[in-house]
Amino acid sequence: MIGIYRFVNFRDGWLLVVFLVVSTVAAGLLPPILAVLTGRVFNLLANLAERDGNEIVVRPMAIMALGAASLPVVWASIYCWMALGERQGFSVRRKMLDSYLANAFEWYDAREDLAGKFTQLNRSVEELRASSAEASAVLTRSLVTIVALIGTSFHASWSLTLVTLCSAPLIIGCAYFFSRLVQKYADRENEQISKASQLVDWSVNAAQFIRLCGTELREVQKFKICIQKSADSFIRMCLYASLNSGVLRFLTLTMFVQAFWFGSTMIRKGRLTVGDVITCFHSCILLGSTINGALHQLVFWQKGTVAANQISKFLETCQVLPAQQSESGFAPVGRLRGDICFKDVDFTYPSRPQEQVLRGLSLNFAAGKTTFILGKSGSGKSTLANLLLKFYGFQNGSICVDGTDIAYINQEYLIRDITVVEQRCTIFNGTLRDNITIGLDESKRKDEAELVKLVCRISLLERFIHDLDDGLSTVVGSGGLSLSGGQQQKVAIARALIKDPPVLILDEAVSALDALQRSLIIKAIRAHREGKTTIILTHELDQIGPDDYCYIVDQGAYIEQGYGGQLNVDSSTNFYAWKHLHQDEEDETDNSSQFTSVETPTDVKQKVFESVIDFEVETPRADKEVGYFSEDLESYMTSTSYSRSRKNRQRILVSNESEKISSDCLKENRTLVPIRVILKRMFLLKRRRILLVLGVLCSFIAGAANPIFSYTFSYLLNGVAPQENGVGSDSYLLRWSLIVIGMAAADAIFNFAKDFLLGYCSECWIQQLRNEVMQGINMTQLKWFTRETNKASEVSALLLNDLRDARALASDFVSTVSTFMIVSSIGLMWALISGWKLSLVCMSTFPLIIFFSAFYGMLLQKQETQYKTAVADLENLQYEITNGIKTIRRLHLEASFLERYSKLEAKMARIGSLRAISTGLGIAVLETLTMCIQAILFYYALTLVSTGQYTINKMFETLTLLLFTIMTCNTLVNQIPDISRGQRAADFVFRMIRETKCVSSVLDSAPATGQIEELPTVISVQNLNFAYHTSPSTSIFDNLSLELSAGTTVGIVGESGSGKSTLITLLTKLHDAKSGTIQIENKDINDWNTRDLRSQIAVVEQRPTLFAGTIRENLVYGLMRDVLEVEIYDLLKYVGIHDFIKNLPLGLDAPIDQDLLSGGQAQRLCIARALLRRPRILILDECTSALDPESSHIINSIVKEGPPARLTISITHNVDMMKACNELVFLKNGKVAGKGRFETLYMQNKAFQTLVSSHY
């Protein structure tokens, strides 16, 4: 048992442990004291007529006094144990979090499945908490009780006790054997649950990509395989746990049968009194009852042991960073000036040891200057920042800051003074203000408002924030506003600028923005950071001015350096070659232009990635003037003919968190679903209904065996002393001993059958629920994912962790209720027939028990819901930390997140404390009531015997039946906490199933439609009107009409919010067009089978979507055919990434590491994946935004030559991409504002000229 407390700090909690030990020992002594007092009561049966009437009152009332004294003792014991369990849970979570935050970067690189791993670990924490709280409380108290009962029994008769306990070694051996098997299969179940969790996360986070690839059913099938393996392991575990329970139940029920012979003989010989034997037997009966009660908790304790081992394994795998040297080991460093020198640096990533990333690289960055590093995707640019911040160790060379080798500089100082803005920036859940000011030094908090205003102006966030109803208080992230890639980069830039670091590194930090916004932001940053070191890693040559110093890096070494003006005029330089890649394709342009692509950055419209889970709505404050915009931007707006009439028509994309669906099935339940509804849902299980009915039948029989066993046992108990009518004779004892053994065997068999069958059926039920939810997730419309309650972490935890509580409710509650119904009906009826007077006295106390049980159940239901919500909040933060760990480490935000964690931890601790108080009080009151009822029954039974109304045999028969009934009620009420947890889990899952059905995506009522035929017109749109259902008054398209012909490459261009990406979602049936028609090959899109349609369309999204797997698995994802390796390599050559893949040690079988792939490399893999699908229609959505000039030129050339598709559609702001297209469709104000080749549109359409004017 000690092993499950390995994470508890006993030194800090010694006072709690003292109270725990004292109260547990005292509570454990209650049953033996009760046994002694019960023996004293039944000693009165000897010469009862001669006894003083006061003794008949005093001795039973002593039991009532014991019950009253037990209340504070049991209450304190339960509370202390649950408090210890909470401390254990907090300690474990904190250790895991601290270990995770302290890992080396290579540890993160080697593990892409951490989100799924943490889902399983969180369940392990809960199982460990439960085992170290409720389960340990019962087991420890039972241990004390067992020792005390054995001592009491030995005191009454050591010889009779030894005879009674002779089967104890067999009981211990069986328990050990079965517990090992249970632990083995519990491990296997947890392993499969971890894998299933990764699949759930992928289905939630990559919902749009899965639908476009048509792999919904494939994802469901993979999940079903994992869940089936998990179910197989649980069923084996359930089998051995049920066998364990059945065998031990039989042994404990029969262990004192042999003692009756011995006890009866000793009474006949006069060596023992009836009171001694009754005391010994009652002790052994309580001993058996205690062991049976402990057996139920033993399973939870075993799960806790497995959970503790799982957590320990995780902590052991953590590659914790070595402790920093003492301050005396570091050179004294003040505020960094920013003079940085890389000298002959060699580096390979530990996860890719055979691929050298840097090869003798030497670079110098002058303090207070802006320096550019240019290079292709994957050339090693991003690695420099990681090495500079000491997140990786390099093999050779040196890196110096201000003349001091970084080996002698504390990493905290480097992170404090060097800030990196990544290309794949992370936005944390919270308000915009929180995201911008996170990590801000406390000394600057007094000027926070002014600083926020300044950095928002520099990063072009000012007017965007103004247009939001809640401004800076707008919640972003999960359940809040969904920011586009460009908006995220702006927030990340503002977050870096507000820290005002001596060294700022921008790693492709504006790649998701259009050229004008890139230029404005870079210019503003230069002005703001004049005199401070700024390093810009980019592939955009146009950002470099003639006086900017730059290095060109290729394959881990610099190949060129110099000032931009010199390199630009030297035709022998790589800079010149990259700069003029498209020179032969265009006329000479105005040299004053610094831009390669453009989008009008008007003050109320921001570039937004039009994700289908965002919605376009009118900005409520779009008409209001804002007087604090910069003069440069105002003059730019004037020069681009920005007018108020246009301003009034702008839209921004916002995620509608408060989206409401008119269906009642989506309404949040204020109360949890009733248990009868849960059980009814379980009985709808068709596949296993016969076994379920058989399990319930076995429960009834097992319940009936209880009073029958108590009845036969009463006859055996009555015959312990020989009587004149033959009762107690050898033949009598033999007959009733065999009957008792037979009943014990029947009881054990049917208890095993009902435990296993109900456990098996409940697992099949939650397996069906899991599969149903997973299918709903993959078939529902994308708007479902915008709701705050549908975060990946919460869905995964609910589906794979909390449903285990529903499984326990379904099996244990059905079993207990069935037993209770039989015991309460048969037992009470039998008791009424046997002795109605004593039975009515017992039944008169039932309303009190029922009232208390109802109140206790409602109280715990409320607190369990609050507790689970607090746990979900804590785990959501943990999930956020897991996904954004590298950003957190680079920005030194550990303290900020630990502070948030501590607040949530304190809230959970308060709720947990109230829950412990309520649970302890409920159990204590129940035990007190039970003892008081026993005292009343004993008193009245003795009175009935003393007055001659009952015989001793009749008293024993009736009393035994009633006591077993009370014990069964006690068991049912003790399960209320488990019932509440399972009820909450079932309620949330049922809600999720209803929601996904209400917004389900029909796949598909239309018949299979085959392939796109060879017709001249591929796509025809006529009179299309569309508005998102959340904002029906805001029209995205206004009678839009256009035709796209076969054999062409069409560019869709326009301002942000003009509906470019919305059109793609309509073409792929991610949204339905309610008005107008869309025809593909002269067939209405609504007549197309969705799966057939999407199988012939490939979409390359703006953000690369890759999953944890090999490169090959990512490339062939969603393909319905086998692909030859030569075909894959041909396409990799086609998109310009062949050499990178071929140089990897495992080639195509190398695992994907998204943090080590550059944005350009990831995007080219996505393009290759799209082409492998052999699409009839290829859609490229800003697919060159993350590519360097050479790679971008390769993709532009592919588009110009015509990809292997009947129709290629390119959504773009890039002028070179526009020129590569055969035809452009210019969208404006919901209509086609122009159509034709680039040159024609530019000459004839003034609005189009405005859009691309900065290129000339």
pLDDT above 80 for 601? no
* 1227 and 1173 within one domain: yes
pLDDT above 80 for 24? yes
pLDDT tens for 145-162 read 888 878 877 877 778 778
Q: What is the mean pLDDT of residues 1-26?
A: 82
Q: What is the mean pLDDT of residues 931-941?
A: 87
Please answer whether residues 257 and 737 qualify as being in contact, where contact means their C-beta atoms are separated by less than 8 angstroms. yes
* 993 and 1031 within one domain: no
pLDDT above 60 for 660? no
Q: Quote the CA–CA distance of 554 and 547 in Å, as a whole number.
A: 22
- What is the pLDDT, as a whole number, of residue 294? 74
The most confident of 44-53, 1028-1037, 1097-1106, by mean pLDDT: 1097-1106
pLDDT tens for 177-189 read 888 888 889 888 8
More confident residue, 97 or 984: 97
Q: Is 722 a member of any domain?
A: yes
Model confidence at 351, pLDDT cuts 50, 70, 90, reads confident
Q: Is 236 a member of any domain?
A: yes
pLDDT above 60 for 645? no
- What is the pLDDT, as a whole number, of residue 1105? 85
Q: What is the mean pLDDT of residues 374-403?
A: 87
Q: Is 1006 a member of any domain?
A: no
User: Minimal CA–CA distance to 520: which of 640, 438, 425?
Assistant: 640
Model confidence at 906, pLDDT cuts 50, 70, 90, reads very high
- Three-state DSSP at 1214 gives strand
- Mean of per-residue pLDDT scores for the chain: 79
User: How many angstroms separate the most distant Cα atoms in the chain?
Assistant: 126
Model confidence at 757, pLDDT cuts 50, 70, 90, reads very high
pLDDT above 50 for 630? no
Please answer whether residues 608 and 526 qualify as being in contact, where contact means their C-beta atoms are separated by less than 8 angstroms. no
* 741 and 649 within one domain: no
Q: Are strands 1177-1181 and 1207-1211 parallel, antiparallel or unpaired?
A: parallel
* 1036 and 943 within one domain: no
Q: Is 363 a member of any domain?
A: no
First to last CA, the chain: 77
- Find residue 1214's DSSP bridge partners: 597
- What is the pLDDT, as a whole number, of residue 605? 29
> Residue 787 is part of a domain; what is its CATH number?
1.20.1560.10
Burial 940-977 (b: 16+ CB within 10 A, else e): bbbbbbbeeebebbbbbbbbbbbbbbbbbbbbbbbbbb
pLDDT tens for 248-284 read 888 877 876 777 777 777 777 777 777 677 777 767 6
Q: Is 1077 a member of any domain?
A: yes
> Residue 1202 is part of a domain; what is its CATH number?
3.40.50.300
The Cα angle at residue 626 between residues 622 and 632, in degrees rounded to 5: 115
pLDDT above 60 for 664? no
pLDDT above 80 for 446? yes
* 1030 and 983 within one domain: no
Q: What is the mean pLDDT of residues 196-210?
A: 88
Least confident of 454-463, 707-716, 967-976, 1117-1126: 967-976
- What is the pLDDT, as a whole number, of residue 728? 62
* 650 and 675 within one domain: no
User: Minimal CA–CA distance to 545: which of 530, 564, 562, 528?
Assistant: 564
Split into its structural domains, the chain has a count of: 3
- Three-state DSSP at 615 gives strand
Q: Quote the CA–CA distance of 62 and 981 in Å, as a whole number.
A: 37
Q: Which residue in this structure is represented by tokens 């560019």?
A: 1051
- What is the pLDDT, as a whole number, of residue 454? 93
Q: Quote the CA–CA distance of 609 and 571 in Å, as a whole number.
A: 38
The 3-class SS string of 827-881 reads: HHHHHHHHHHHHHHHHHCCHHHHHHHHHHHHHHHHHHHHHHHHHHHHHHHHHHHH
* 994 and 1030 within one domain: no
* 648 and 681 within one domain: no
Instruction: Give every CB contact of residue 54 below 8 A, 6+ residues apart in sequence.
Output: none
- Among 998, 1026, 1056, the domain boundary falls at 998
Helix 257-268 / helix 730-779 crossing angle, nearest 10 deg: 150
Record the tokens describing residue 1167, joined without a space: 């393009």
- What is the pLDDT, as a whole number, of residue 1010? 56
pLDDT above 90 for 79? yes
How many residues are recorded in the chain?
1256
CA of 92: how far to CAs of 51, 98, 1125, 1234, in Å? 60, 10, 47, 63
Q: What is the mean pLDDT of residues 458-483?
A: 82
pLDDT above 50 for 328? no
Q: Quote the CA–CA distance of 654 and 608 in Å, as a whole number.
A: 9
Model confidence at 136, pLDDT cuts 50, 70, 90, reads confident
Q: Quote the CA–CA distance of 649 and 623 in Å, as a whole number.
A: 9
The share of the chain scoring above pLDDT 90, in percent, equals 16
Q: Is 663 a member of any domain?
A: no
Least confident of 386-395, 663-672, 770-779: 663-672
pLDDT above 50 for 599? no
- Among 611, 630, 654, the domain boundary falls at 654
Sign of the four-CA dihedral 1247, 1250, 1252, 1256 = positive
Q: Quote the CA–CA distance of 600 and 1254 in Å, as a whole number.
A: 9
* 599 and 491 within one domain: yes
- Find residue 1180's DSSP bridge partners: 1100, 1210
Amino acid identity, position 182: V
pLDDT above 70 for 431? yes
Write out the DSSP string of 299-335.
HHHHHHHHHHHHHHHHHHH--BPPPPPPGGGS----S
- What is the pLDDT, as a whole number, of residue 978? 66
- Among 998, 1026, 1045, the domain boundary falls at 998
pTM of the model: 0.69
Q: What is the mean pLDDT of residues 463-473?
A: 84
* 1139 and 1070 within one domain: yes
Least confident of 131-140, 712-721, 999-1008, 1140-1149: 999-1008
- What is the pLDDT, as a whole number, of residue 369? 92
Q: What is the mean pLDDT of residues 1234-1239?
A: 89
Model confidence at 720, pLDDT cuts 50, 70, 90, reads low
Model confidence at 434, pLDDT cuts 50, 70, 90, reads very high
pLDDT above 60 for 200? yes
Please answer whether residues 512 and 607 qualify as being in contact, where contact means their C-beta atoms are separated by less than 8 angstroms. yes
pLDDT tens for 214-257 read 898 999 999 999 999 999 999 999 999 899 888 888 887 787 67
Model confidence at 170, pLDDT cuts 50, 70, 90, reads confident
- What is the pLDDT, as a whole number, of residue 343? 93
- Three-state DSSP at 591 gives coil
Peptide bond before residue 201 is cis, with ω within 30 degrees of 0: no
pLDDT above 70 for 1032? no
- Three-state DSSP at 1071 gives coil
Q: Is 342 a member of any domain?
A: no
Q: What is the mean pLDDT of residues 813-825?
A: 75
- What is the pLDDT, as a whole number, of residue 623? 34
* 565 and 446 within one domain: yes
User: What does the DSSP 8-state code read for residue 772?
Assistant: H
Q: What is the mean pLDDT of residues 439-456?
A: 88
Write out the DSSP string of 470-500.
TGGG-EESTTSB---HHHHHHHHHHHHHTT-
User: Minimal CA–CA distance to 959: which of 835, 826, 821?
Assistant: 835
Least confident of 311-325, 692-706, 1115-1129: 311-325
Q: Quote the CA–CA distance of 920 and 134 in Å, as a whole number.
A: 10
* 1089 and 987 within one domain: no
Instruction: Give every CB contact of residue 179 below 8 A, 6+ residues apart in sequence.
Output: 244, 298, 302
Containing structural domain, residue 777: 2-320+668-998
pLDDT tens for 789-813 read 777 778 888 888 888 888 877 777 7
Least confident of 434-448, 932-946, 1006-1020, 1179-1193: 1006-1020
Q: What is the mean pLDDT of residues 596-619?
A: 31
Q: Which residue in this structure is represented by tokens 């390599």?
A: 1129
Q: Is 17 a member of any domain?
A: yes
- Three-state DSSP at 662 gives coil
pLDDT tens for 407-417 read 889 888 899 99
pLDDT above 50 for 598? no
Model confidence at 1086, pLDDT cuts 50, 70, 90, reads confident
